[in-house]
């Protein structure tokens, strides 16, 4: 459960896992139109939560180019949802391991990857959210953390203080990922714009201060990456990127 600052009355009943603010399609025709928006030729398998949590394709491409994901990079992603970012990473020739604990979205992610990732790419979806499995994280070049934002009502809060993946707060994840690590790491957090990223950044810097050199950036999509489509605004998304250099 996220922790909020300045919570407005009556808004504590949060919807779990729905993090973006795009109206989702309800009919088959709308879903087909939605799939075209996202550059897919077939109907994309999804549910309500999956639709809200999908990053638009052009923003995913923009982000992964900004953080310089290269062919052959090993990327771990959580929470994968219905696999939108996973598909983009695989199409960029990254070797992807994605976590998704929900059984139905796990099934949808598997089907979407089968339908939209051409050829034999290195992509695996695991039905778990055990982001701190060292047998996986120690082999990764990039860890992409997409924590649930607590529902569409995240926009009602002035500031979000904490977010969690399972029982792990985002700052704690940085500490755990770096324990005993012997190689570089790019740690990427997908965040709502009202999240207190400066506190998270401070935690990430302290986590790596003794063992790593560090480079950081806080990414806001440029205006050309946030067009309006049929009057619907693309979600407000930010990314905190911390590069740990061994």
**82: phi then psi, degrees, rounded to nearest 5:** -95, 10
Mean pLDDT by 10 residues, the chain (246 residues): 34 30 45 50 75 82 95 94 92 94 92 86 85 89 92 81 92 96 97 95 97 96 57 73 97
Say how far apart CA 214 and CA 211 lie, in whole Å.
Answer: 10
In this prediction, residue 14 carries a pLDDT of 25
In this prediction, residue 177 carries a pLDDT of 96
Helix (H, G, I), strand (E, B) or coil at 101: coil
Q: What is the DSSP secondary-structure string of 19-42?
A: ---PPPP-SHHHHHHHHHHTT-SS
In this prediction, residue 204 carries a pLDDT of 98
In this prediction, residue 128 carries a pLDDT of 85
User: Which tokens sit at 5?
Assistant: 């600052």
Q: CATH number of the domain at 3-245, please?
A: 3.40.50.150
In this prediction, residue 235 carries a pLDDT of 58
Say how far apart CA 177 and CA 134 lie, in whole Å.
Answer: 8
**Hey, where are the domains in the chain?**
3-245
């Amino acid at each position: 459960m996220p922790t909020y600052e300045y919570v407005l009355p009556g808004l504590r009943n949060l919807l779990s896992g729905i993090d973006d603010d795009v109206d989702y399609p309800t009919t088959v025709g709308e879903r087909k139109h939605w799939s075209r928006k996202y550059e897919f030729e077939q109907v994309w398998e999804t549910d309500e939560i999956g639709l809200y949590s999908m990053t638009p394709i052009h923003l995913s491409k923009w982000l992964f180019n900004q953080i310089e994901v290269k062919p052959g990079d090993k990327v771990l992603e959580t929470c994968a949802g219905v696999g939108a970012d996973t598909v983009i990473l695989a199409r960029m020739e990254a070797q992807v391991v994605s976590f998704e604990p929900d059984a139905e979205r796990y099934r949808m992610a598997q089907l979407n990857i089968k339908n939209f990732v051409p050829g034999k790419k290195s992509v695996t979806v695991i039905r778990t959210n055990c982001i701190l499995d060292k047998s996986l994280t120690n082999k990764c070049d990039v860890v992409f953390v997409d924590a649930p934002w607590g529902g569409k009502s995240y926009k009602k809060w002035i500031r979000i203080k904490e977010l969690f993946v399972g029982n792990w707060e985002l700052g704690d994840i940085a500490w755990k990922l770096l324990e005993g690590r012997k190689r570089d790491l790019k740690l990427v957090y997908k965040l709502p714009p009202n999240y207190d990223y400066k506190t998270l950044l401070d935690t990430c810097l302290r986590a790596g201060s003794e063992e790593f050199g560090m480079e950081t950036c806080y990414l806001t999509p440029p205006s050309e990456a946030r067009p309006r489509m049929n009057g619907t605004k693309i979600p407000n998304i930010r990314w905190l990127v911390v590069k740990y250099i061994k």
